[in-house]
Amino acid sequence: MQAGCWCKYYRRTGQNPGGSPAEREGNSHRAKELLVKSGSAHSIIVYSGGSAIGWCQFGPAGELPRIDGIRNHKALGSASPASRLWRITCFSVDREYRHRGVARYALAAALDAIGRYGGGTAEAYPVTWNRAVNIWFGTVSMFRELGFSDAGRLGKRGLPVRKDV
């Protein structure tokens, strides 16, 4: 869980429901739990021993619609039919395990999973703005190392990348 979001942000088209930060986090937690129990949450969890140390969210474009509302996203053009577009939106790595390749490992596993689901185009959204929290979105270099190509720009801060899987 990052900043109380439970990675529900990209699943919504509007604001996180609830009043206080604690209420919003509780709502997100309950909503995520329902998605996991129903089998409609896609993610990779990386373990060291018995402890979860990293995580990567991915899913079909329809499950992560908030991206469609990003200014200039439509200008990127279609990568593939909507049924074959996968989005990789969030990463979380335990502070003690950062800079050890955990996110890269999770990304590689997500790509493998996308392939098992039938493949398509994987699209991700690393940021280039130095004030952005790239630990949540991954770095451009990590995606390029795994064969992603630049797909255009989303303003001054975003560099979407794509890869056929």
**0.85 exceeded by the pTM?**
no
154 has which bridge partners? 158
Question: Are 110 and 79 in the same domain?
Answer: yes
Question: Are 2 and 65 in the same domain?
Answer: no
85-93 and 51-60 beta bridge pairing: antiparallel
Mean pLDDT of the chain: 80
Q: Which helix (H) or strand (E) holds 109?
A: helix 102-116
Question: Are 32 and 58 in the same domain?
Answer: no
Look at residue 13 and tell me whether its pLDDT is greater than 70.
no
Question: Are 150 and 84 in the same domain?
Answer: yes
Question: Are 35 and 51 in the same domain?
Answer: no
Residues near 20 by beta carbon (within 8 Å), at least 6 away in sequence: none
Where residue 123 sits, what CATH number does that domain have? 3.40.630.30
Q: What is the per-residue pLDDT for 116? A: 96
Alpha-carbon 156 to chain mean position? 20
Tens of pLDDT, residue by residue over 81-132, are: 566 899 999 898 988 999 999 999 999 999 999 999 999 999 998 877 666 5
Q: Which helix (H) or strand (E) holds 28?
A: helix 21-38
131 exposure class (CB count in 10 Å sphere: 0-12, 13-18, 19+):
exposed
Q: What percent of the chain has pLDDT over 90?
A: 35
Q: What is the per-residue pLDDT for 114? A: 96
Question: Are 46 and 35 in the same domain?
Answer: no
150 has which bridge partners? 161
Question: Are 14 and 67 in the same domain?
Answer: no
Assess contact for 37 and 60: CB atoms under 8 A. no
Instruction: Please count the other Cβ atoms lying within 10 Å of the Cβ belonging to residue 84.
Output: 17
Question: Are 10 and 70 in the same domain?
Answer: no
Q: Into how many domains does the chain fold?
A: 2
pLDDT interval class at 69 (50, 70, 90): low
Question: Are 77 and 113 in the same domain?
Answer: yes
Look at residue 5 and tell me whether its pLDDT is greater than 60.
no
Q: What is the per-residue pLDDT for 8? A: 60
Question: Where in the sequence is the domain holding 61, given as residue range(s)?
Answer: 42-164
